[in-house]
Amino acid sequence: MANLLVLVRHGQSEWNKKNLFTGWKDPDLTDQGRAEAVEAGQALKAGGYEFDVSFTSVLSRAQKTNDAILKELGQTDLEIICDQALNERDYGDLAGLNKDDAREKWGEEQVHIWRRSYDTPPPGGESLKDTADRVLPYYHATIKPRVLGGDRVLIAAHGNSLRALTMDLEGLTREEVLQLNIATGAPIAYELDDEGKVLSKKLLIEREAH
């Protein structure tokens, strides 16, 4: 039997809605974000998914998404492990700024480089490479052994921490991962072989990624 790993990006946050750089700041979910989390749980339930453990970050938008999913699944007593390693990319000096204001301050090209290059961090923050450098060791040391040991694993995290993990799972190049956008509240179910390689990938909800 294949090993199950499901990834879910948190539902829309208040700062997603306001077009602000968020990173390690901790805004709440919007009403839409809460609805997306519930919809994610409903889609998983309809697909017959159940879990043995869930992993999430220390940020409340991911934790609340995780909780809403487990409530829909009737698994509110599930083991939940929260770790900073799964946090969103730290945007440093950009955190809390409107993306349009940031472009005015630093210029369109510079902000685009910070957002979409692989290894150029914004001032005081992390690049996608830096994010991968904390997400992937945690995945390989802590999460992957649970998956390969037969546990059905849910990860509720963030756009960039999940992009880093997807890059590793799917063997994406640095150029390919820069084009990858993960929609909020849309579960991605992977079946992995006994070495952790992807056998299949299923997107449970079709939602436009921003």
Catalytic residue among 10, 36, 72, 158: 10
Say if residues 40 and 207 touch (Cβ distance below 8 Å): no
10 catalytic? Reply is: yes
Rounded to whole angstroms, how far apart are CA atoms 103 and 25? Answer: 20
Task: Tokens for 66, please give them.
Answer: 């995780």
Rounded to whole angstroms, how far apart are CA atoms 146 and 154? Answer: 11
Rounded to whole angstroms, how far apart are CA atoms 17 and 19? Answer: 6
Catalytic residue among 36, 88, 126, 158: 88
Rounded to whole angstroms, how far apart are CA atoms 117 and 160? Answer: 12
Residues identified as active-site: 10, 88
